[in-house]
Amino acid sequence: MLVSPESDRANRRWAVGVSVALALLIAGLAFVRPWALAALPLAWAVHWWLRRQTVRRLKVMASPFPDVWEAALQTHVVYYRMLGEDQREGFRNRMKIFLDEVAVTGIRTDVDETTRALVGASAVIPIMGLDDFEYSGLGEVLIYPASFGADYQTEGEGDKNTLGMIGVNHLSGVMILSKPSLLAGFSNSGDKRNVGIHEFAHLVDKADGEVDGIPVSASAEVTEPWVKWVGQELQSEGTRAGIDDYAYTNEAEYFAVLSEYFFEKPAQLQAKNPKLYAMLRKMYHQDPKRLFRGRRKRRGKIRRNDPCPCGSGDKFKHCCRRKTMQGMPVKP
């Protein structure tokens, strides 16, 4: 997703090489058919086509990161606050690119910038360790005002307990998220539940073409023990302590639910089952336990009167907290 100097140079060489080869082919053909010279602009068009995504992403990466997004991350995304500045820059750039390329649309509900930022954060957290990962099949995230049923409806009869879903059939390329559930997932970072991370974990899983609980990032070293482990877990009744029962629906849901656990309560997961934590760490190429532990004292929970972590010099209640209150659930 990110454009590095190396990937930019490689893309530039590829675009120039293909367009020059096409131009020489047209020029050679012109010796026999002079009218072929009229096709020379095609070489420029091919060069533009091959460079278009890289150039656009470079412009997006160079653009300022919106203050309201920064405020949302500082206020509601513990994972982001744990990152060092270099890692934050990578997080922000991934998020800018994602939100530039994937529409976030409200269905009978408003989508404020805080909601958009939390969708972006949900997308970025699982792929921070996966270089060059692309959510290539995703075109739009639909934000619903409440939970919904299997028919994507929030009204009428039937089960309305679904909080998130990746679309299939006519909705392929679409993700649906319940707005209250998305916001609640970031308002309580210790409940091991985050519907945004859950659904994007499904897309990480789906990158190889199948939603089977084995992400494309899983090496041969970890795939075999993971498949064996999950198979045993789905048949066992004795190892479910602390894991949502929904994980035991099938292999794909087990991976997605454990991904929530992995990013929300990594130390607890590692303490309960070091082997399971190690497998997820190898699949995501991340170690959130180490990340959280290394900065907990400096960047734990922010209180209203603490200095704002964005560095403005103001109190948190007068800065980032105020910017992101709109649309957030009110605690009882």
pLDDT in tens, 6-46: 999 999 999 999 999 999 999 999 999 999 889 999 999 99
Task: Give the whole-number percent of the chain exceeding pLDDT 70.
Answer: 81
Question: What is residue 173's predicted lDDT score, i.e. its pLDDT?
Answer: 86
Question: What is residue 330's predicted lDDT score, i.e. its pLDDT?
Answer: 42
Question: What is residue 136's predicted lDDT score, i.e. its pLDDT?
Answer: 84
Question: What is residue 164's predicted lDDT score, i.e. its pLDDT?
Answer: 74
CA atoms within a 13 Å half-sphere pointing along the CA-CB vector of 217: 23
pLDDT of 239 over the 90 cut: no
pLDDT of 332 over the 50 cut: no
Question: What is residue 98's predicted lDDT score, i.e. its pLDDT?
Answer: 96
Q: Which residue in this structure is represented by tokens 């602390």? A: 242
Q: Which residue in this structure is represented by tokens 């976030």? A: 104
67-293 folds as Collagenase (Catalytic Domain) (3.40.390)
Q: pLDDT averaged over the chain?
A: 86
- Measured between alpha carbons, how far is 22 from 44 in angstroms, rounded to an integer? 9
- Measured between alpha carbons, how far is 157 from 137 in angstroms, rounded to an integer? 31
CB of 102 within 8 A of CB of 138?
yes
CB of 95 within 8 A of CB of 120?
yes
pLDDT of 49 over the 80 cut: yes
Burial string for 174-192 (b: 16+ CB within 10 Å, else e) reads: bbbbbbbbbbbbbbebeeb
Which amino acid is it at 156?
G
Distances (CA, A) of 298 to 80, 98, 289, 307: 13, 29, 15, 12
Question: What is residue 166's predicted lDDT score, i.e. its pLDDT?
Answer: 74
pLDDT digits (tens, 9 = 90+) for 53-99: 999 999 999 999 999 999 999 999 999 999 999 999 999 999 999 99
